[in-house]
Chains A and B, each alone.
Chain A
Amino acid sequence: MNIDNPNRLATEMVDESKGVFRVARDAYTDPDVFEAEMASIFEGGWIYVCHESQIADHGDYYATQAGRQPIFLIRQADGGIGGFIDACSHRGAVLTRARRGTMKTIMCRFHGWCYDTTGACTLIKNEAGGWPDGVDRGRFSLRAIPKVESYKGFVYASLSGDVPSLGEALGESRAFIDLMADQSPDGMEIVPGNQSYMINGNWKLQAENGVDGYHVSTVHRVFARAVAKREAMGDKGEMRKTEAARITGEVETGVYDLGGGHMLLWAQRGNPEVAPLAEKLDWLNATYAESKVDWMLRKGRNLFLFPNVFLMDQSSTQIRVIIPHTVDRTEVRTYCIAPKGESRKARAARLRKFEDFFMVTGMATPDDMAALEDVQRGSNGRLAPWNEMDRGVGKAIPGADTATASLGANPVTSNPDWDSETLFHGFYREWARVMR
């Protein structure tokens, strides 16, 4: 690590000077790089926190980490969303007792100080006689997070006030966020039940894995076979039938570098008629342009929003949040997001497909995790310092292809083959830019 400029090494870790695109494996293993990432990326810009439906009513809160700092978002009495450092102004105890809950009055369980949902200190226990001249409660307001904004129900926070608007930061990815957010006239909701898991791996490996089409035909072929076996044995799947065409490689695919580090992977769905959303086809056709309905229903999509969330919409629908703990330990929180008001049958099908593929207790995600953890272990081989990410480089075109042009989105590059790694170039260029 360069003492004068601790971020210098990080910027040298993305190397395009040899005519190939490569990323230094130290980027996954160097604790100094991790500290710089926390300061520059996770505490220095927008990060995804939660979905609005998770904090629907006054006092509902959601607690997480922004980099190394504990934070929580809370629904205020006027319907706004407040964001605060999760620490009592008095002696610093964390104020939330769980990852999610409700507290109209925020009471510190240590000495009993209270705050309202605007962060104002409303009560100091035994205040009278505590200070010779009384005390100004105004100076004990909770430390507000500089920026909290929401785009179509997806709530973001930034510990730095010096950031572009959320809309600007999401840029070209917004057209693809809309494909998930606009699936119901009643809005979207998080389904009860969720799963968090810990990976022995760097957070960027999780960011790569979720939009890496190239691993699917090796790592997940066993998933396709297991599901085929279930159906051959007479499982009456119907709408629960899991889609495997994208795994066996029989369909059109593509990847986009959307700019700003955002990435998209898509594959044509083999049997979109079994998609839970298919029951809304008439409403979709009456409401949106044909190209948007086609993208919503017939193209399975994994959207990565820099730096820490996936919106996945393929056999089921998932929000996957990445929370880095240390350079080689990463928490992932997964939620099923679904259209409000969908039928019980569609909801059940969506959930069974979610459990099949997306859960770490399911039949696919464990295999992703094992592969990722093996990359983490292999990256300690210092004598072999580089990961190459150039597959499909000849197939990339600048700007939009026909498919994305129909949505009005304008990627940095488009590539008609999900075995291509050109989308990672956008991720790592943005990473290097922010770390500079």
Chain B
Amino acid sequence: MKNNKIKMENLLYLEADLLDRQQWSDWSALYVEDCVIWVPAWDSEEVLVDDPEISVNMMYLVGKPALEARLHRIASDDAYASLPLARTMHAVTNIRVVEDRGAEIDVSSKFTVLSLEPRRGKSWRGGWYDHTLVEEGGALRIKRKKITLLEDVIDGTVDLYQI
């Protein structure tokens, strides 16, 4: 793949912006059908799980239907924790190409999310993103996103759009 840093950065910024603007279907369209979103759980204060198949994860969403189920719940106007929805601000920084394999490219970045929840007030969460991007139909798409959330004790609830 042509290593176009501006295109990659734009995709990551666009993803963050679509989540903040709650444009769920536009956000989902950034992902390929056989996508994976993985948020590993901490096994202890120091150790993150490493095999998502046979470990407890905070989230392990395999394939578009798994994403759509989460979005359905968020947008349902019937999920207690999402009534009302939190207002969020995603900031993505330190974007860096880790490996370019031609057909796929691994990109790492850091994120912070300010989330204003009517029930709980302000939370400030942060962590690392590891994206694997592919070109599909002439556009850059997300094949895999690993979100390393630094919190091992979650104060409140965390949904897909809040990290």
Q: In the docked arrangement, what's the CA distance between A369 and B76, Å?
A: 18
Selecting from A196-204, A277-285, A294-302, the interface stretch reads A196-204
Binds A, one of B1-9, B95-103, B150-158: B150-158
Known: A101-B44, A361-B58. A196 touches B80 (CB 8 A): no
In angstroms, Cα B84 to Cα A148, docked, is: 45
Is B40 engaged at the interface, CB distance under 8 Å to the other chain? yes
The reply to whether A366 and B56 contact each other, CB–CB distance below 8 Å, is no
Which range holds the interface residue count of chain B? 35 or more
Q: A98-B44, A192-B55, A194-B41 in contact; A222/B76 too (CB < 8 A)?
A: yes
Q: Are A363 and B69 in contact (CB under 8 A)?
A: yes
Given contacts A101-B44, A198-B155, A331-B153, contact A336 B81 (CB under 8 A): no
Given contacts A223-B73, A351-B56, contact A369 B156 (CB under 8 A): yes
* CA gap between A196 and B154 in the complex, in Å: 6
Asked if A125 lies at the interface with its beta carbon under 8 angstroms from chain B, I say no
Known pairs A100-B44, A371-B80; A193 contacts B57 (CB<8 A): yes
Residues of A with C-beta under 8 A to B44: 98-101
Q: Are A191 and B159 also in contact (CB < 8 A) when A98-B44, A198-B153, A222-B79 are?
A: no
Among B17-25, B60-68, B138-146, the one that faces the other chain is B60-68
Would you call B70 an interface residue if the criterion is a C-beta within 8 Å of the partner chain's C-beta atoms? Answer: yes
Q: Which chain A positions have C-beta within 8 A of B63?
A: 235
Q: Which of A347, A359, A370 is close to B119, meaning CB atoms less than 8 Å apart?
A: A370
Chain A residue, CB-CB nearest to B41 = A193
Stretch at the interface among A26-34, A129-137, A224-232, A416-424: A224-232
Assembly CA distance A373 to B80 (angstroms) = 11
Q: How far is the CA of A373 from the CA of B117 in the complex (A)?
A: 13
**Contact assessment for B43 and A197 in the assembled complex, using a CB-CB cutoff below 8 Å:** no
Whether the pair A229, B68 counts as a contact (CB closer than 8 A) is yes
A225 and B45 alpha carbons, distance in the complex (Å): 35
Most buried by B among A101, A223, A368, A369: A369
B-chain residues with CB within 8 Å of residue A168 when the two chains form the complex: none
- Chain A positions within 8 Å of B159 at CB level: 361, 366
B64 and A233 contact, CB distance less than 8 A = yes
| A window 226-278: CB within 8 A of B | 226-227, 229-231, 233-235
Interface flag for A391 (CB, 8 Å): no
Q: A355 interface residue, CB < 8 Å from B?
A: yes
- How many interface residues does chain A have, given as a range? 35 or more
Per the bound structure, the CA–CA distance linking A365 and B156 in Å amounts to 11
Cβ contacts under 8 Å, A366 to chain B: 79-82, 157-159
Q: Give A83-99 interface residues, CB cut-off 8 Å to B.
A: 98-99
Give A363-403 as 1s and 0s: 1 = Cβ < 8 Å from B's Cβ atoms: 10111111101100000000000000000000000000000
Closest Cβ–Cβ distance, residue B81 to chain A (whole Å) = 4
Contact across chains for B154 and A222 when beta carbons are under 8 A apart: no
Among residues of A, the one whose C-beta sits closest to the C-beta of B121 is A200
Q: Does A123 contact B (CB under 8 A)?
A: no
Indicate with 1 or 0, residue by residue over A315-334, a CB within 8 angstroms of chain B CB atoms: 00000000000000001000
**A contacts, CB < 8 Å to B:** 98-101, 191-198, 200, 219, 221-223, 225-227, 229-231, 233-235, 331, 335-336, 344, 347-348, 351-352, 354-355, 359-363, 365-371, 373-374
* 25 pairs of residues in contact across A and B, judged by CB atoms under 8 Å: A98-B45, A191-B55, A191-B56, A192-B43, A192-B54, A193-B41, A194-B41, A195-B58, A196-B154, A197-B156, A219-B80, A223-B73, A225-B76, A225-B78, A233-B64, A344-B54, A355-B58, A355-B60, A360-B157, A361-B157, A363-B79, A366-B159, A370-B81, A370-B83, A374-B119
